[in-house]
């Protein structure tokens, strides 16, 4: 493995003789964008109050100051330990987290006995704390490669943990400790991404070049495939036992994407799709819970026609439709009609109703930008583990957004999952901040070692 930046290609060398190319750090831009993100969040917070009561909510200053302090500490950590990192990660994280807090605060107005925003703010603080810790402590992401098997053991342990706890709302994905609900599966995502990246980086040549050729597709041998499929089956099996299909879908997608990027074998995609179809059919047949989700997706208004009133999905669709192009305005929609999980799985419906298609498009663009920046960091790196890690983390975000946003808008069957940063849920927010921290670490390596060969 060669270190980038010490040698260049003839072309680059000709343009930049001898001297090391240093990219601009762009920390000033990051700071300006963070200030903008905090201001936008405070504006949203005030808009809710103005729409509901005609006054600026009393907590506006405290809320803005809290979010601002958190964001600035994160910025300082980046400035100190990851000065070359892409300047977009942190502001996007802050803006999405701030917007999520605004939406949850807004929904709290409808449920005076069930306030979720304060707890979410505490979790956000923990998340940014973890972000700062990762940025400060983890000096080089390649260290993680050494702990691949520790990671996978921890991930499987976390996934298995909720089986020991009682099911909540039909899914065994929560554990309750001292009044806090924790979803260990959320943390397992990052650990599994680290393991997949490390394992595939080490074995990608074996995976790519061995195996049989069938028609135009090359299939790998069982020897290399064995361990990884075993681990994948284990994690998926645990998830099916826990009935958390969203996460199961996410792991599967992550696995297939990383396998493809590592080997470039389209045969992997064929195997993946085949497995997905088989799995979907089997689970759909066996699990009444899943079967019901598919029925709901195909016929969202079946309960209405049966005279039982609208189900959550139809209420969610009603909310999106009510938003139209420009939305009703923050605080003026009726997405609370969705009822249970309006603040978590269905949080996007509130955004869709009150901010309209315009606001929703903006939110999707923020996610797209986050994912694209992650991929770009992967492209700019020169070593496979970092590349796969960046691609894996960015893909987790993209897939998670697709699975839950597609679910609540009726594009695909609904599976419970948290909208990254927006949805109520402590484990999710903490995990997403860990993902952004790792992306910043990877991106810092990529841009500080830039050799002028690839787009940074």
Partner 1 sequence: MSEYGGGRPMARYIRHACAFCALLLAALLVNAARVQVVQSRVYDDNPANRRAEIARYGHPRGDILVGDEPVTGSVDTGEQLRYERTYRNGPLYAPVTGFASQSYGTTFLEHAGDGVLSGTDPLLSPLPLWNDMTRRPGPAGNVVTTLNRRAQEAAYRGLAGRKGAVAAIDPTTGRVLALVSSPSYDPGVLSGNGEAVTSAWARLNHDPEKPMLNRAVRQTYPPGSTFKVVTAAAALDAGAVTDLDAHTGSPDPYLLPGTRTRLTNEAGGCRDASLRSAFKWSCNTVFAKLGVDVGVQNMVATAQAFGFNDPGLRIPFSVAPSTFDPHVDRAQLALSSIGQYNTRATPLQMAMVAAAVADRGQLWSPYLVERTTRRNGETVAGSGAHPVRQVINPSTAERLKELMADVVREGTGTRAAIPGALVGGKTGTAQHGVGNTGVPYAWFVSWAQADNSLEPQVAVAVVVEDASANRGEISGGGNAAPIARDVMRAVLGR
User: Binding residues for partner 1, per CB under 8 A?
Assistant: 1-2, 4, 201, 204-205, 208, 257, 260-264, 301, 304, 309-310, 314, 317-318, 320-326, 328-329, 334, 337, 352, 356-357, 360-361, 364, 367-368, 371-372, 375, 378-379, 382-384, 387, 391, 394-395, 398-399, 401-402, 405-406, 409-411, 454
CB of 72 to partner 1, least distance (A): 30
Task: Specify the DSSP element, H or E, that contains 180.
Answer: strand 180-182
Quick one: 177 or 308, whose CB is closer to partner 1?
Answer: 308
Quick one: 182 or 257, whose CB is closer to partner 1?
Answer: 257
Non-local CB neighbours of 194 within 8 Å, separated by 6+ positions: 144, 147, 148, 151, 389, 392
CB of 283 to partner 1, least distance (A): 21
* Residue that the structure tokens 């849920």 belong to: 425
* Residue that the structure tokens 């315009």 belong to: 358
* Residue that the structure tokens 């689970």 belong to: 283
Quick one: 79 or 142, whose CB is closer to partner 1?
Answer: 142
Quick one: 154 or 257, whose CB is closer to partner 1?
Answer: 257
Quick one: 128 or 360, whose CB is closer to partner 1?
Answer: 360
Torsion of CA 251, 252, 254, 259, to 10 degrees: 140
CA distance 342 to 338: 6
Contact 401, 367 (CB under 8 A): yes
CB of 123 to partner 1, least distance (A): 26
CB of 185 to partner 1, least distance (A): 21
**Orientation angle between helical segments 312-323 and 347-380, nearest 10 degrees:** 80
CB of 45 to partner 1, least distance (A): 21
Quick one: 79 or 334, whose CB is closer to partner 1?
Answer: 334
Quick one: 162 or 374, whose CB is closer to partner 1?
Answer: 374
In this structure, what token pair is assigned to residue 151? 């990671």
In this structure, what token pair is assigned to residue 64? 């803005």
In this structure, what token pair is assigned to residue 33? 């964008």
Select from 112, 115, 91 the least CA-distant residue to 101.
Answer: 115
CB of 21 to partner 1, least distance (A): 17
CB of 2 to partner 1, least distance (A): 5
CB of 394 to partner 1, least distance (A): 7
Of the chain, the end-to-end C-alpha distance in Å amounts to 19
Quick one: 314 or 427, whose CB is closer to partner 1?
Answer: 314
Q: How many other CB atoms are found less than 10 A from the CB of residue 229?
A: 15
Instruction: Compute CA distances 227 → 196, 211, 268, 315, whole Å.
Output: 11, 15, 15, 44
């Amino acid at each position: 493995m060669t270190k980038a930046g010490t040698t260049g290609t003839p072309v680059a060398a000709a343009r930049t003789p001898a001297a090391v190319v240093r990219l601009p750090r762009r920390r000033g831009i990051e700071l300006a964008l963070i200030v903008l993100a905090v201001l936008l969040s405070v504006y949203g917070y005030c808009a809710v109050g103005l729409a509901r009561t005609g006054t600026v909510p009393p907590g506006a200053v405290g809320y803005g100051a809290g979010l601002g302090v958190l964001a600035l500490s994160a910025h300082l950590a980046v400035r100190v330990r990851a000065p070359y990192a892409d300047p977009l990660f942190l502001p996007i994280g802050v803006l999405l987290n701030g917007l999520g807090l605004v939406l949850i605060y807004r929904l709290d107005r409808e449920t005076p006995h069930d306030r979720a925003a304060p707890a979410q703010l505490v979790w956000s603080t923990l998340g940014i704390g973890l972000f700062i810790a990762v940025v400060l402590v983890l000096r080089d992401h390649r260290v993680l490669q050494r702990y691949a098997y520790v990671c996978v053991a921890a991930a499987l342990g976390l996934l298995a943990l909720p089986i020991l706890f009682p099911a909540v709302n039909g899914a065994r994905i929560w554990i309750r400790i001292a009044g806090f609900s924790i979803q260990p599966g959320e943390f397992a995502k990052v650990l599994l991404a680290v393991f997949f990246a490390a394992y595939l980086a080490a074995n990608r040549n074996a995976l790519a070049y061995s195996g049989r050729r069938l028609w135009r597709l090359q299939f790998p041998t069982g020897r290399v495939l064995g361990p990884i499929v075993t681990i994948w089956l284990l994690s998926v099996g645990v998830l099916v036992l826990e009935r958390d299909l969203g996460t199961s879908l996410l792991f599967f997608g992550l696995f297939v994407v990383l396998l493809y990027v590592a080997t470039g074998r389209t045969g992997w995609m064929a195997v993946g799709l085949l497995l997905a179809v088989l799995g979907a059919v089997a689970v759909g047949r066996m699990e009444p819970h899943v079967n019901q989700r598919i029925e709901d997706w195909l016929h969202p208004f079946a309960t209405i026609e049966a005279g039982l009133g609208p189900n959550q999905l139809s209420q969610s669709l009603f909310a999106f439709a009510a938003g139209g192009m420009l939305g009703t305005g923050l605080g003026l929609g009726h997405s609370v009609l969705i009822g249970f999980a309006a603040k978590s799985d269905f949080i996007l419906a509130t955004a869709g109703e009150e901010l309209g298609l315009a606001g929703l498009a903006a939110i999707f663009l923020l996610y797209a930008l986050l994912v694209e920046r992650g991929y770009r960091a992967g492209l700019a790196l020169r070593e496979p583990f970092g590349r796969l890690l960046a691609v894996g983390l960015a893909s987790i975000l993209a897939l998670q957004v697709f699975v839950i946003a597609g679910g609540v808008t009726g594009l695909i069957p609904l599976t419970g999952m948290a909208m990254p940063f927006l949805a109520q849920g402590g484990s999710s927010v903490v995990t997403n901040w860990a993902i952004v921290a790792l992306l910043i670490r990877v991106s810092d390596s990529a841009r500080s070692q830039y050799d002028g060969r690839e787009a940074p």
